[in-house]
Chains A and B, each alone.
Chain A
């Protein structure tokens, strides 16, 4: 008789949950800083910290599962996560006027080097899905270069920075790292979360276009051409995602995919905003970072967190567990999403036309961030308490 035995996971779900929780807490902090009127670069890099921590947490679980490689030691993942927290805290403090830029650059450069080399060393041994491993590796390597540029700028903070460095750094972080990673993972996540066949992405044209856009943007060849390539990539892949969703086994659309769809739409708006304005300005960066990237991460994290918590509880012997589909408190998740989307769009619009109105919308966004934190706690406690009552 089968007893629902679970092969013990070497992937340390508890460690990943902790790093993911750190990421969400960082997002709340960044959003609070935005409301409180902290310097824009401080807020921007606090949000960057959130993205980096979320990717570190997710990669620890996803890289072994997707590419059939050995997991990184959890101590390395948590150690680099702590180093990133310290480095970004020093960086934010530096943007607020403290003399911490140089040491921030050192800490972030070391943390990024260790983590990037570790992940890439795993990806080169990928036993399956090698094309996706290459795209994933491109994103991670881009992050490494972006941090290298960032650290160089920090070390040159008092003596002058070459004009090409800041836009190249921003492009590598926002497009080559975060956006291409999201696009790459969406090709697996959308069919996985929808329980649908994922055989509609054969040509990978969208990803190639996105990569080409990132490279041309980072090298400054043609901003307009890059933006149009990105727009084409998002539209092509978006159409393929809709086609995938239509064949799903699960009839109800998963909350994570609702988040993903909203984020994808905001991503397209971000690109169109930059095209219309002829530049990547505060409005399009708000749309990209607060909307496209953050809301996507939140959506996927709900699913990953649910699974990790479920796995944690099962490995500790809990038998009667509520289904994953019931673990997400939907009213709170919907409230969070509405506030995050409205806050993002409103903030971008006010920066475009009247920055004086920004506080109302950044406050709305903070409410969304706090509501999401509540959802996060609810999902994880749903299973952690099950362990205590097994």
Chain B
């Protein structure tokens, strides 16, 4: 079970979305991605749904933490 961590803050759209989706292609069952973002990645969620991934988005003091997991 591996965790991919990435810091997508200060990247302009759609770079954060593309980086996360590219990383999703490497995920195996039980793996997860933890991505720091400085905006809520609203366009990412339908893409994650389409790929059958589970995800969460937590607002924090320094932005958002998006967690993606392959069931």
Other-chain residue from B14, B25, B55, B56 in contact with A188 (beta carbon distance below 8 A): B14
Asked if residues B57 and A65 are in contact (CB atoms below 8 Å), the reply is no
Q: Is the interface of B mostly helix, strand, loop or mixed?
A: mixed
Asked if residues A325 and B18 are in contact (CB atoms below 8 Å), the reply is no
Asked if residues A198 and B56 are in contact (CB atoms below 8 Å), the reply is no
Chain B's interface size range is: 20 to 34
Bound-state Cα–Cα, A68 to B59, Å: 14
- Whether a CB of chain A sits under 8 angstroms from the CB of B1 is no
- Which residues of the partner chain A approach B10 to less than 8 Å between Cβ atoms? 128
Asked if residues B14 and A198 are in contact (CB atoms below 8 Å), the reply is yes
- Which residues of the partner chain B approach A1 to less than 8 Å between Cβ atoms? 54
Query: How far apart are B4's CB and chain A's nearest CB, in angstroms?
Result: 15
6 A/B residue pairs, CB under 8 Å, sorted by A:
A2-B68, A65-B13, A192-B13, A196-B18, A198-B13, A198-B14
- Which residues of the partner chain B approach A314 to less than 8 Å between Cβ atoms? 45
- Whether a CB of chain B sits under 8 angstroms from the CB of A4 is yes
What is the 8 Å Cβ interface bit string for chain B, positions 46-71, against chain A (1 contact, 0 not)? 11111000111101000010011100
What is the 8 Å Cβ interface bit string for chain A, positions 1-23, against chain B (1 contact, 0 not)? 11111110101000000000000
> Given A1-B54, A249-B21, A323-B50, are A128 and B14 also a contact pair (CB < 8 Å)?
no
Asked if residues A5 and B46 are in contact (CB atoms below 8 Å), the reply is no
State the total of A-B contacts with C-beta under 8 angstroms.
86
Asked if residues B39 and A310 are in contact (CB atoms below 8 Å), the reply is no
Interface residues of B (CB under 8 A from A): 10, 12-15, 17-18, 21-22, 25, 38-40, 42-43, 45-50, 54-57, 59, 64, 67-69
7 closest cross-chain pairs (CB), A and B: A323-B50, A2-B54, A192-B14, A324-B46, A2-B56, A7-B57, A129-B12
Other-chain residue from B12, B15, B57, B64 in contact with A6 (beta carbon distance below 8 A): B57
Asked if residues A195 and B12 are in contact (CB atoms below 8 Å), the reply is no
